[in-house]
């Protein structure tokens, strides 16, 4: 059933804060469930679903993301995206199907504690976690702990991976526009060439990690896109650089941004041009609560057949970090065994992982959210 739900959602990927079809699909599914213990609120294109417990002393939160990516799908599956130029290439369709599976189980098999299911839009951008966290709806239903998962193509089905502490990096988008003076290629002395300025800027940006970041820390600055000029014999008046910054600490992020801004100011002077910067979406690090994460890992090892990998931190970004900065909780990787990685146009996760995740999470939540079970241990 939940594989079919995943396939339905896979066909209708939508970008951040445009997930209206996705929201409608989820609301229609929720309407098919028994309503006695369900409370539902919408927030923009997101959804909060509270499942009332039998004797609650706390609220357990579970978050899933909803949005797709601006990617042309290149798989040959019969349920490929019907939205041109849009694809669930980060597994959010899998995430939603798993969340609905866990929610359905909790509705039909009540636990003592309340649960809050958070269907969050705009994870890929411009960032939905922080504004959702600050919404009146979430403030009214703020959970005492929160957990989430993310698919991992590099791990086999039946495996999860996580660790206490830092799991995902601090991330920030980076956009830089350079404006000079265009002109004929034969008269460069009468122009301010932004191809040259952009090239110099890119090379200088690469010195930040090697010369300004502590070698015992880690950071990445990647310029993934450079656009400039229109024709081969005209000197470009404008150039635009688009990239990303990743660091393993908030302090390193501040240091890297400070150096980028200083270098950009230097480029303005050196190439007599104008520069504009925008950091776009910024995501706080995913930092797993030590006690809750260790408790979860012990549960997986002692009470399930799922293989647990104690992984290293990754330079990937996830705005779930904003929630973990305020609410104790954790995130883990779910193995889906695909030769193509996240954000790849041919990503095709193994759907058997949906059942693995639902079973694992329902067992953990029943153990965590039923007081008598905990007391007997």
Please indicate, yes or no, if residue 377 is contained in any of the structural domains. Answer: no
Q: Residues 25-66: pLDDT tens digits? A: 999 999 999 999 999 999 999 999 999 999 999 999 999 999
Pairing label, strands 282-283, 170-179: antiparallel
Q: Are residues 35 and 16 in the same domain?
A: yes
Q: Are residues 255 and 297 in the same domain?
A: no
Please indicate, yes or no, if residue 77 is contained in any of the structural domains. Answer: yes
Strand partners, 246: 171, 220
Q: Give the separation between CA 206 and CA 147, rounded to whole angstroms.
A: 36
Q: What is the predicted pLDDT for the residue at 281?
A: 83
Please indicate, yes or no, if residue 261 is contained in any of the structural domains. Answer: yes
Q: What residue numbers does the annotated binding site for Mn(2+) cover?
A: 90, 92, 124, 150, 343
Q: Are residues 274 and 203 in the same domain?
A: yes
Cβ neighbours of residue 13 under 8 Å, at least 6 residues apart? Answer: 67, 68, 69, 81, 83, 86, 87, 88, 93
Final residue in a domain of this structure, among 255, 282, 309: 282
**88 neighbors 72 (Cβ within 8 angstroms):** no
Q: Give the separation between CA 154 and CA 104, rounded to whole angstroms.
A: 29
**262 neighbors 270 (Cβ within 8 angstroms):** no
Q: Are residues 117 and 195 in the same domain?
A: no
Q: Are residues 70 and 198 in the same domain?
A: no
Q: Are residues 59 and 85 in the same domain?
A: yes
Strand partners, 151: 334
Q: Give the separation between CA 329 and CA 302, rounded to whole angstroms.
A: 20
- Given strand 46-51, what is the order of strands in its sheet? 38-43, 46-51, 114-120, 59-65, 145-152, 329-335, 159-162, 307-310
Please indicate, yes or no, if residue 18 is contained in any of the structural domains. Answer: yes
Q: Are residues 261 and 245 in the same domain?
A: yes
Q: Give the separation between CA 235 and CA 184, rounded to whole angstroms.
A: 6
Catalytic residue among 19, 65, 73, 237: 65
Give the CATH number of the domain where residue 247 resides.
3.30.70.360
Please indicate, yes or no, if residue 374 is contained in any of the structural domains. Answer: no
Q: Are residues 341 and 291 in the same domain?
A: yes
Give the residues of the chain that fall short of pLDDT 50.
Answer: none
Torsion 127-129-130-136 (CA) sign: positive
Element at 49 (helix H, strand E): strand 46-51
Please indicate, yes or no, if residue 87 is contained in any of the structural domains. Answer: yes
Q: Give the separation between CA 290 and CA 329, rounded to whole angstroms.
A: 9
Q: Are residues 180 and 70 in the same domain?
A: no
Q: Give the separation between CA 303 and CA 94, rounded to whole angstroms.
A: 24
The domain tally of the chain equals 2
Domain that holds residue 299: 1-167+285-369
DSSP-derived letter for residue 237 is S
Please indicate, yes or no, if residue 375 is contained in any of the structural domains. Answer: no
Please indicate, yes or no, if residue 352 is contained in any of the structural domains. Answer: yes
Is 295 designated active site?
Answer: no
Q: Are residues 252 and 295 in the same domain?
A: no
Q: Give the separation between CA 364 and CA 303, rounded to whole angstroms.
A: 9
Q: Are residues 251 and 194 in the same domain?
A: yes
Q: Are residues 151 and 190 in the same domain?
A: no
Catalytic residue among 113, 124, 173, 318: 124
Final residue in a domain of this structure, among 224, 255, 282: 282
Final residue in a domain of this structure, among 264, 282, 300: 282
Is 65 designated active site?
Answer: yes
**Nearest CA to 149 among 167, 166, 137?**
167
Q: What residue numbers does the annotated binding site cover?
A: 90, 92, 124, 150, 343
Q: Residues 341-360: pLDDT tens digits? A: 999 999 999 999 999 999 99
Strand partners, 148: 331
DSSP-derived letter for residue 117 is E
Tallying the residues shown for the chain, one arrives at: 377
Give the CATH number of the domain where residue 58 resides.
3.40.630.10
Query: Scanning the structure block, which residue is given the tokens 């609560």?
Result: 289
Q: What is the predicted pLDDT for the residue at 375?
A: 57
Pairing label, strands 59-65, 145-152: parallel
The burial class, CB within 10 Å (0-12 / 13-18 / 19+), for 98 is buried
Q: Residues 319-340: pLDDT tens digits? A: 999 999 999 999 999 999 999 9
**347 neighbors 91 (Cβ within 8 angstroms):** yes
Strand partners, 162: 310
Q: Give the separation between CA 286 and CA 150, rounded to whole angstroms.
A: 12
């Amino acid at each position: 059933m939940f594989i079919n739900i995943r396939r339905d959602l896979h066909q209708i990927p939508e970008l951040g804060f445009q997930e209206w079809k996705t929201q409608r699909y989820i609301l229609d599914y929720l309407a098919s469930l028994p309503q006695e213990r369900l409370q539902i609120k919408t927030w923009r294109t997101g959804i909060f679903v509270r499942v009332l417990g039998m004797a609650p002393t706390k609220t357990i939160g579970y978050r899933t993301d909803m949005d797709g990516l601006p990617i042309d799908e290149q798989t040959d599956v019969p349920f490929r995206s019907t939205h041109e130029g849009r694809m669930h290439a980060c597994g959010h369709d899998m995430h939603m199907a798993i969340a609905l599976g866990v929610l359905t189980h909790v509705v039909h098999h009540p636990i003592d504690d309340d649960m809050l299911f958070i269907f969050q839009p705009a994870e890929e951008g411009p960032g939905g976690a922080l504004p959702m966290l600050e919404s009146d709806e979430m403030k009214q239903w703020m959970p005492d702990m929160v957990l989430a998962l993310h698919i991992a193509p590099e791990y086999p089905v039946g495996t999860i991976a996580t660790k206490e502490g830092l799991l995902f990096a601090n991330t920030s988008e980076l956009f830089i526009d350079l404006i000079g003076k265009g002109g004929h290629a034969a008269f460069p002395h009468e122009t301010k060439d932004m191809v040259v300025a952009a090239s110099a800027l890119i090379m200088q940006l690469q010195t930040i990690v090697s010369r300004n970041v502590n070698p015992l820390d880690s950071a990445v600055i990647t310029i993934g896109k450079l656009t400039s000029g229109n024709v081969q014999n005209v000197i470009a008046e404008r150039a635009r650089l688009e990239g990303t910054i990743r660091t393993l600490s908030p302090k390193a992020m501040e240091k890297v941004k400070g150096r980028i801004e200083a270098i950009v100011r230097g480029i303005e002077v050196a190439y007599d041009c104008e520069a504009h910067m925008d950091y776009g979406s910024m995501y706080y690090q995913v930092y797993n609560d030590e006690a809750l994460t260790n408790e979860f890992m012990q549960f997986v090892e002692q009470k399930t057949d799922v293989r647990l990998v104690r992984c290293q931190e990754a330079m990937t970004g996830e705005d779930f970090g904003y929630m973990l900065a305020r609410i104790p909780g954790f995130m883990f990787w779910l193995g889906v065994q695909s030769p193509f990685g996240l954000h790849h146009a041919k990503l095709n996760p193994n759907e058997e992982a949906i059942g693995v995740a639902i079973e694992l999470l329902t067992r953990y939540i029943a153990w965590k959210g039923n007081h008598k079970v905990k007391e007997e241990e």
